[in-house]
Structure 1
Amino acid sequence: MDAKAPILLFDSGVGGLTVLAELRAVLPDAPVIYAADIAGLPYGAKSEAEVAARVAGLLGRMAERYEPRLICIACNTASTIALGMVRDVLETPIVGTVPAIKPAAAITKTGTIGLLGTEATVRQRYVDDLEKEFASGKTLLRYGANDLVALGEAKLRGDEVSVDDVTRAASGLVLQAGGENLDTVVLACTHFPLLEPELREAFGKDVTFVHGAAGIARRVAYLVDGQQFDASGGDFAVTTGEMNDFERLAPAFARHGISRLVHF
């Protein structure tokens, strides 16, 4: 394994920065390329066929160009839809992101868990299977809050995002029958932890939020354990979208040690 071979962190936008933060904590010396498919945003409003084809195609081209040692799909929607397909077509090790239903089920006291994701994520059979395996006997309320993705992106760009905006986007979760019993909410989109302060204010202090970024980082670290790292070439971020818009995110990337932004 070439010590300069990067870890490729892929997301539809910049929600994957929540995963990158945890990855830096456990693998501070690893070379990283962050890939944001902003031209394809939002995934949550697309059909399963569209997401699968787009993610598999992009990751195939990125694997060929960047020769990563591992690819982390830091996107719940892409993972729940396309993870199996991508693993079938690429030889590169792939780590996906799935809703943190297991830890949520372990800590809920009321037995009622909320799943806040994109519309595409919350309807997946993958989620059905996680519920059956880890939350049997619990109540899992699901809500697709696509608007939270745009609010998370806007917040990182420095735009003003109000608690009222976040509340409107997420309120459908608690307005369901049984919503008054929620005590644990799974943030099943990597964008959503960017809005955790606003979500805490919207849902109240008695609700616990759970997401999988730290677990994903630990899994990546486990798979690359013992490998040599050389990040002397410098980390960078690539986008499929407009560079003018991407460059507004420069301060956010700089906080994670990435100063070079390029177009894919």
Structure 2
Amino acid sequence: MRPTQPVLFFDSGVGGLSVLAPTRALLPAMRAVYVADNAGYPYGTRSEAEIAARVPALLGRLVERYTPRLVVIACNTASTIALAAVRAALDVPIVGTVPAIKPAAQTSRTRVIGVLGTAATVRQPYVDDLATRFASDCTVLRHGSATLVTLAEAKLAGRAVDQHAVAAELAALTVQPEGERIDVIVNACTHFPLLDAELAVAAGPAVRFVDGGPGIARRVQHLTDGQDFTPAEDIAVFTRLDDAARALTPALARHGFTRLELL
């Protein structure tokens, strides 16, 4: 293992930065390659078949090019659909991102929790299984939102966030039967923690949000325990290097990425 060998973070857009940040906090010397499959963005509105075919193929190319020590699929949609196929195809440790239903159920007092993700994520049998295993005594309400993904990407590009639009997406959870009793909401899309301030305003002080970022960071730290890290240039990779991608340059620079590449 070379000390400069990177950890590769993969998402359809910039949502994976919410996973990168807590990982960097635990491993400050980590070299990172951040990949946004913006040519396939957004995953949440694509079919399972498209994602199941696209994600392993892309990650195969990325692993060959960047030889990472570990890959983080920093996307709930890609993980709930393609994680098993990626692990079967690649000879490198793979860490997935799945909805944090277990910690939500552990902390809920009302026993009503919300799962806020993309449409593709919230309909997955994987989510059904998590709810059955870890929240069988809870009412689990779900809402799939493409709007919040778009708002998160816009925020990272420096544009103002429409607070009314955020509130409307949360209302889609609370108007469901028993929705007024929700006290914990799972951010089941890595984009959504990027809207933490806006979501908190919309939800009010009685509701808390949980996401998988901190747990993933601890998992990466555990899997790389004892390995040497030497800081080196971080690389941000896009599958389409267009004006929208370049508009994210300041946000990426704040996370240490000053070099952009096209896959």
Is 1:253 equivalent to 2:252 in the alignment? yes
Indicate the residue corresponding to 1:134 in structure 2: 134
Residues 71-220 of structure 1 mapped to structure 2, 5 A cutoff = 71-220=71-220
CA displacement at 1:8 relative to structure 2: 0.4
Instruction: Report SS of the residue matched to 2:166.
Output: helix
Question: d(CA) in 2 for partners of 1:206 and 1:245?
Answer: 36
CA displacement at 1:168 relative to structure 2: 2.1
Residues 37-56 of structure 1 mapped to structure 2, 5 A cutoff = 37-56=37-56
> 1:214-259 CA deviation, whole Å, 9 max, x = no partner?
1001101100111111233x01100012332212111111111111
Indicate the residue corresponding to 1:13 in structure 2: 13
The ranges of structure 1 where at least 4 consecutive aligned residues each deviate by more than 3 angstroms after the TM superposition are none
CA displacement at 1:262 relative to structure 2: 1.7
Question: d(CA) in 1 for partners of 2:246 and 2:228?
Answer: 31
Question: d(CA) in 2 for partners of 1:165 and 1:262?
Answer: 33
Is 1:239 equivalent to 2:232 in the alignment? no
Amino acid at match of 2:214: A
Indicate the residue corresponding to 2:58 in structure 1: 58
Question: d(CA) in 2 for partners of 1:110 and 1:227?
Answer: 43
Question: d(CA) in 1 for partners of 2:181 and 2:168?
Answer: 19
List gaps (5 residues or longer) in structure 1: none
Instruction: Report SS of the residue matched to 2:221.
Output: helix
TM-score for both structures, normalised by structure 2:
0.98
CA displacement at 1:135 relative to structure 2: 0.3
Question: d(CA) in 2 for partners of 1:3 and 1:75?
Answer: 26
Instruction: Report SS of the residue matched to 2:172.
Output: coil
CA displacement at 1:151 relative to structure 2: 0.5
Percent identical pairs in the alignment equals 57
Instruction: Report SS of the residue matched to 2:250.
Output: helix
Over aligned residues, Cα RMSD in angstroms? Answer: 0.9
Contact 1:148 1:170 in 2 (8 A): no
> 1:136-157 CA deviation, whole Å, 9 max, x = no partner?
1111001101111011000000
Amino acid at match of 2:239: T
Contact 1:243 1:262 in 2 (8 A): no
